Protein backbone atom coordinates (compact mmCIF):
# COMPACT_ATOMS: atom_id res chain seq x y z
CA UNK A 1 0.00 0.00 0.00
CA UNK A 2 1.23 3.47 -0.81
CA UNK A 3 1.71 6.11 1.86
CA UNK A 4 0.97 9.80 1.60
CA UNK A 5 2.62 12.98 2.72
CA UNK A 6 0.91 14.96 5.46
CA UNK A 7 -0.37 17.36 2.83
CA UNK A 8 -1.99 14.68 0.66
CA UNK A 9 -3.24 12.78 3.70
CA UNK A 10 -5.14 15.87 4.81
CA UNK A 11 -6.83 15.92 1.41
CA UNK A 12 -7.54 12.17 1.47
CA UNK A 13 -9.25 12.43 4.85
CA UNK A 14 -11.94 14.64 3.30
CA UNK A 15 -12.83 12.49 0.32
CA UNK A 16 -16.23 10.96 1.16
CA UNK A 17 -16.76 7.21 1.11
CA UNK A 18 -17.96 5.93 -2.25
CA UNK A 19 -16.82 8.99 -4.20
CA UNK A 20 -16.22 9.10 -7.92
CA UNK A 21 -13.00 11.11 -7.86
CA UNK A 22 -11.06 13.19 -10.34
CA UNK A 23 -7.56 14.12 -9.17
CA UNK A 24 -6.34 16.91 -11.44
CA UNK A 25 -2.57 17.26 -11.69
CA UNK A 26 -2.23 13.83 -10.15
CA UNK A 27 1.51 13.47 -10.70
CA UNK A 28 2.29 9.89 -9.58
CA UNK A 29 -1.40 9.18 -8.87
CA UNK A 30 -0.52 8.62 -5.21
CA UNK A 31 -3.78 10.08 -3.92
CA UNK A 32 -6.12 8.01 -6.16
CA UNK A 33 -4.11 4.85 -5.46
CA UNK A 34 -4.16 5.46 -1.71
CA UNK A 35 -7.93 6.00 -1.71
CA UNK A 36 -8.64 2.99 -3.94
CA UNK A 37 -6.47 0.68 -1.87
CA UNK A 38 -8.50 1.60 1.21
CA UNK A 39 -11.84 1.19 -0.50
CA UNK A 40 -12.78 4.84 -0.11
CA UNK A 41 -13.43 5.70 -3.75
CA UNK A 42 -15.76 3.82 -6.08
CA UNK A 43 -13.72 4.99 -9.07
CA UNK A 44 -11.10 7.58 -9.91
CA UNK A 45 -9.61 9.53 -12.79
CA UNK A 46 -6.01 10.70 -12.51
CA UNK A 47 -5.48 13.64 -14.83
CA UNK A 48 -2.09 14.89 -16.03
CA UNK A 49 -1.12 17.37 -18.70
CA UNK A 50 2.52 16.48 -19.35
CA UNK A 51 3.84 13.22 -20.70
CA UNK A 52 6.32 12.51 -17.90
CA UNK A 53 3.87 12.77 -14.97
CA UNK A 54 1.23 10.97 -17.05
CA UNK A 55 3.59 8.04 -17.57
CA UNK A 56 4.52 8.03 -13.87
CA UNK A 57 0.86 7.97 -12.86
CA UNK A 58 0.09 5.18 -15.31
CA UNK A 59 2.99 3.12 -13.95
CA UNK A 60 1.86 3.65 -10.35
CA UNK A 61 -1.67 2.51 -11.12
CA UNK A 62 -0.48 -0.52 -13.05
CA UNK A 63 1.95 -1.60 -10.34
CA UNK A 64 -0.82 -1.30 -7.75
CA UNK A 65 -3.08 -3.47 -9.88
CA UNK A 66 -5.79 -0.84 -9.93
CA UNK A 67 -6.42 -0.21 -13.62
CA UNK A 68 -10.02 -1.35 -13.19
CA UNK A 69 -10.57 1.32 -10.51
CA UNK A 70 -8.37 4.20 -11.68
CA UNK A 71 -8.18 5.58 -15.21
CA UNK A 72 -5.17 7.73 -16.04
CA UNK A 73 -5.91 10.38 -18.64
CA UNK A 74 -3.72 12.98 -20.29
CA UNK A 75 -5.19 16.42 -20.81
CA UNK A 76 -5.39 20.01 -19.66
CA UNK A 77 -7.25 20.54 -16.39
CA UNK A 78 -10.86 19.43 -16.41
CA UNK A 79 -10.64 18.42 -20.06
CA UNK A 80 -9.91 14.90 -18.77
CA UNK A 81 -13.44 14.46 -17.39
CA UNK A 82 -16.90 14.53 -18.88
CA UNK A 83 -19.80 16.41 -17.32
CA UNK A 84 -21.45 14.28 -14.63
CA UNK A 85 -18.63 11.71 -14.58
CA UNK A 86 -17.32 12.52 -11.09
CA UNK A 87 -18.70 13.93 -7.85
CA UNK A 88 -15.45 14.90 -6.09
CA UNK A 89 -12.52 16.85 -7.50
CA UNK A 90 -9.11 17.30 -5.91
CA UNK A 91 -6.50 19.77 -7.15
CA UNK A 92 -3.27 20.10 -5.21
CA UNK A 93 0.25 21.39 -5.47
CA UNK A 94 -0.18 24.36 -7.80
CA UNK A 95 -0.74 28.08 -7.46
CA UNK A 96 -4.12 29.54 -6.64
CA UNK A 97 -4.28 31.43 -9.93
CA UNK A 98 -3.76 28.22 -11.88
CA UNK A 99 -6.39 26.39 -9.83
CA UNK A 100 -8.87 29.18 -10.54
CA UNK A 101 -7.98 29.08 -14.23
CA UNK A 102 -8.62 25.33 -14.32
CA UNK A 103 -11.97 25.69 -12.56
CA UNK A 104 -13.04 28.63 -14.71
CA UNK A 105 -12.18 26.95 -17.99
CA UNK A 106 -13.93 23.75 -16.92
CA UNK A 107 -16.82 25.23 -14.97
CA UNK A 108 -19.36 23.40 -17.16
CA UNK A 109 -17.88 20.12 -15.92
CA UNK A 110 -18.75 20.92 -12.31
CA UNK A 111 -22.53 20.56 -12.57
CA UNK A 112 -22.64 17.19 -10.77
CA UNK A 113 -19.61 17.72 -8.52
CA UNK A 114 -20.55 17.86 -4.83
CA UNK A 115 -17.17 18.54 -3.24
CA UNK A 116 -13.84 20.06 -4.24
CA UNK A 117 -10.72 19.76 -2.11
CA UNK A 118 -8.19 22.35 -3.20
CA UNK A 119 -4.63 22.86 -1.99
CA UNK A 120 -3.04 25.96 -3.50
CA UNK A 121 0.67 26.43 -2.81
CA UNK A 122 0.13 30.20 -2.94
CA UNK A 123 -2.81 32.47 -3.69
CA UNK A 124 -5.35 30.97 -1.30
CA UNK A 125 -7.21 34.28 -1.32
CA UNK A 126 -7.84 33.99 -5.05
CA UNK A 127 -9.32 30.53 -4.62
CA UNK A 128 -11.59 31.57 -1.74
CA UNK A 129 -12.89 34.50 -3.79
CA UNK A 130 -13.62 32.25 -6.77
CA UNK A 131 -15.57 29.87 -4.54
CA UNK A 132 -17.70 32.72 -3.22
CA UNK A 133 -18.34 34.13 -6.69
CA UNK A 134 -19.42 30.72 -8.00
CA UNK A 135 -21.59 29.76 -5.02
CA UNK A 136 -19.40 27.11 -3.46
CA UNK A 137 -19.40 26.96 0.33
CA UNK A 138 -16.04 26.72 2.09
CA UNK A 139 -17.04 24.13 4.70
CA UNK A 140 -13.58 23.53 6.16
CA UNK A 141 -10.02 24.77 5.85
CA UNK A 142 -6.77 23.52 7.32
CA UNK A 143 -3.21 24.77 7.57
CA UNK A 144 -0.29 22.37 7.87
CA UNK A 145 3.48 22.50 7.78
CA UNK A 146 5.59 19.88 6.08
CA UNK A 147 9.27 19.87 5.15
CA UNK A 148 9.56 23.53 6.07
CA UNK A 149 6.66 24.61 3.85
CA UNK A 150 3.21 25.78 4.86
CA UNK A 151 0.12 24.64 3.00
CA UNK A 152 -3.59 25.41 3.23
CA UNK A 153 -6.26 22.86 2.30
CA UNK A 154 -9.69 24.21 1.34
CA UNK A 155 -12.76 21.97 1.37
CA UNK A 156 -15.64 23.38 -0.69
CA UNK A 157 -19.12 21.88 -0.94
CA UNK A 158 -22.03 22.41 -3.29
CA UNK A 159 -25.08 23.65 -1.42
CA UNK A 160 -28.42 25.15 -2.33
CA UNK A 161 -27.85 27.53 0.57
CA UNK A 162 -24.35 28.53 -0.60
CA UNK A 163 -25.17 32.23 -0.95
CA UNK A 164 -26.58 32.48 2.55
CA UNK A 165 -23.85 30.30 4.03
CA UNK A 166 -21.15 32.39 2.38
CA UNK A 167 -22.77 35.61 3.50
CA UNK A 168 -22.67 34.34 7.08
CA UNK A 169 -19.15 32.93 6.77
CA UNK A 170 -17.66 36.16 5.45
CA UNK A 171 -19.84 38.59 7.37
CA UNK A 172 -17.95 41.39 9.05
CA UNK A 173 -17.27 40.41 12.64
CA UNK A 174 -15.65 41.58 15.83
CA UNK A 175 -12.68 39.65 17.18
CA UNK A 176 -11.47 40.86 20.55
CA UNK A 177 -12.64 44.36 19.68
CA UNK A 178 -11.13 44.34 16.19
CA UNK A 179 -13.46 44.72 13.19
CA UNK A 180 -12.57 42.16 10.54
CA UNK A 181 -14.22 42.70 7.15
CA UNK A 182 -15.00 40.30 4.31
CA UNK A 183 -11.82 41.01 2.37
CA UNK A 184 -9.65 40.29 5.40
CA UNK A 185 -11.52 37.04 6.05
CA UNK A 186 -11.01 35.98 2.44
CA UNK A 187 -7.33 36.85 2.62
CA UNK A 188 -6.51 35.19 5.94
CA UNK A 189 -9.14 32.45 6.09
CA UNK A 190 -12.51 32.71 7.86
CA UNK A 191 -11.88 29.61 9.99
CA UNK A 192 -8.10 29.88 10.31
CA UNK A 193 -8.31 33.48 11.44
CA UNK A 194 -10.26 32.60 14.58
CA UNK A 195 -8.40 29.38 15.33
CA UNK A 196 -5.04 31.18 15.58
CA UNK A 197 -3.05 28.03 14.87
CA UNK A 198 0.69 28.57 15.49
CA UNK A 199 1.39 27.57 11.88
CA UNK A 200 -1.08 30.19 10.65
CA UNK A 201 0.57 32.80 12.84
CA UNK A 202 3.97 31.82 11.47
CA UNK A 203 2.66 32.11 7.91
CA UNK A 204 1.48 35.66 8.46
CA UNK A 205 4.60 36.65 10.36
CA UNK A 206 6.56 35.46 7.33
CA UNK A 207 4.26 37.56 5.15
CA UNK A 208 4.94 40.60 7.34
CA UNK A 209 8.67 40.04 6.87
CA UNK A 210 8.23 39.97 3.08
CA UNK A 211 6.15 43.13 3.16
CA UNK A 212 8.76 44.88 5.30
CA UNK A 213 11.41 44.06 2.72
CA UNK A 214 9.24 45.64 0.02
CA UNK A 215 8.74 48.75 2.16
CA UNK A 216 12.49 49.07 2.59
CA UNK A 217 13.00 48.87 -1.18
CA UNK A 218 10.29 51.43 -1.86
CA UNK A 219 11.74 53.81 0.72
CA UNK A 220 14.81 54.24 -1.49
CA UNK A 221 12.67 55.91 -4.14
CA UNK A 222 11.35 59.45 -4.05
CA UNK A 223 8.69 58.83 -6.70
CA UNK A 224 5.18 59.72 -5.57
CA UNK A 225 3.86 56.34 -6.73
CA UNK A 226 6.49 54.55 -4.64
CA UNK A 227 5.63 56.61 -1.57
CA UNK A 228 1.93 55.86 -2.01
CA UNK A 229 2.61 52.16 -2.42
CA UNK A 230 4.83 52.22 0.64
CA UNK A 231 2.01 53.74 2.69
CA UNK A 232 -0.47 51.15 1.40
CA UNK A 233 1.80 48.29 2.41
CA UNK A 234 2.46 49.79 5.82
CA UNK A 235 -1.29 50.05 6.39
CA UNK A 236 -1.65 46.43 5.30
CA UNK A 237 1.03 45.39 7.77
CA UNK A 238 -0.70 47.20 10.63
CA UNK A 239 -3.97 45.46 9.74
CA UNK A 240 -2.31 42.02 9.69
CA UNK A 241 -0.54 42.65 12.98
CA UNK A 242 -3.79 43.72 14.64
CA UNK A 243 -5.68 40.68 13.36
CA UNK A 244 -2.95 38.31 14.58
CA UNK A 245 -2.91 39.95 18.01
CA UNK A 246 -6.70 39.87 18.38
CA UNK A 247 -7.06 36.30 17.10
CA UNK A 248 -4.70 35.12 19.84
CA UNK A 249 -6.93 36.68 22.51
CA UNK A 250 -9.98 34.55 21.74
CA UNK A 251 -10.68 30.83 21.77
CA UNK A 252 -11.74 29.18 18.51
CA UNK A 253 -15.40 30.07 18.19
CA UNK A 254 -16.33 29.89 14.49
CA UNK A 255 -16.47 26.40 13.07
Backbone angles phi, psi at 116, to 5 degrees: -125, 135
Inter-residue contact 141 to 152 (CB < 8 Å): yes
Q: How confident is the model at residue 1 (pLDDT cuts 50, 70, 90)?
A: confident
- The pLDDT tens digits for 133-167 are 999 999 999 999 999 999 999 999 999 999 999 99
Q: How confident is the model at residue 113 (pLDDT cuts 50, 70, 90)?
A: very high
Using CA atoms, how far apart are residues 110 and 85, in angstroms rounded to an integer? 9
Torsion of CA 226, 229, 233, 238, to 10 degrees: 100
Residue 254 reports pLDDT greater than 60: no
Average pLDDT, stretch 43-55?
A: 96
Q: How confident is the model at residue 253 (pLDDT cuts 50, 70, 90)?
A: very low
Average pLDDT, stretch 191-200?
A: 94
Q: How confident is the model at residue 222 (pLDDT cuts 50, 70, 90)?
A: confident
Q: Which residues contact 160 (CB under 8 A, 6 or more apart)?
A: none
Instruction: Check residue 27 and give its pLDDT.
Output: 86
Domains delineated in the chain: 6-169 (3.40.50.150), 173-247 (1.10.287)
Please name which of 232, 244, 239, 175 lies closest in space to residue 205, comparing C-alpha atoms.
244
Instruction: Check residue 255 and give its pLDDT.
Output: 39
Average pLDDT, stretch 164-187?
A: 96
Instruction: Check residue 93 and give its pLDDT.
Output: 95
Inter-residue contact 34 to 8 (CB < 8 Å): yes
Q: How confident is the model at residue 191 (pLDDT cuts 50, 70, 90)?
A: very high
**Cβ-count burial of 157 within 10 angstroms (0-12 exposed, 13-18 middle, 19+ buried)?**
middle
Average pLDDT, stretch 114-126?
A: 98
- The pLDDT tens digits for 72-94 are 999 999 999 999 999 999 999 99
Inter-residue contact 80 to 45 (CB < 8 Å): yes
Beta-carbon-side half-sphere exposure of residue 146 (alpha carbons within 13 Å)? 15
Instruction: Check residue 245 and give its pLDDT.
Output: 94
- The pLDDT tens digits for 2-46 are 999 999 999 999 999 999 999 999 989 999 999 999 999 999 999
Instruction: Check residue 251 and give its pLDDT.
Output: 55
Q: pTM (2 decimals)?
A: 0.93
Amino acid sequence: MVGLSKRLLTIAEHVPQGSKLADIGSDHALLPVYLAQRGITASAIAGELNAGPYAAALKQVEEAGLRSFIEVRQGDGLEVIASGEVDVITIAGMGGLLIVQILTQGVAKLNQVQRMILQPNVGEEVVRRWLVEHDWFLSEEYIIQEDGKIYEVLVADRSEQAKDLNQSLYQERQIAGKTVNKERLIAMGPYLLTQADPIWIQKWQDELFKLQRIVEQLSRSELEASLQRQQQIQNEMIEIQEVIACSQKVKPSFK
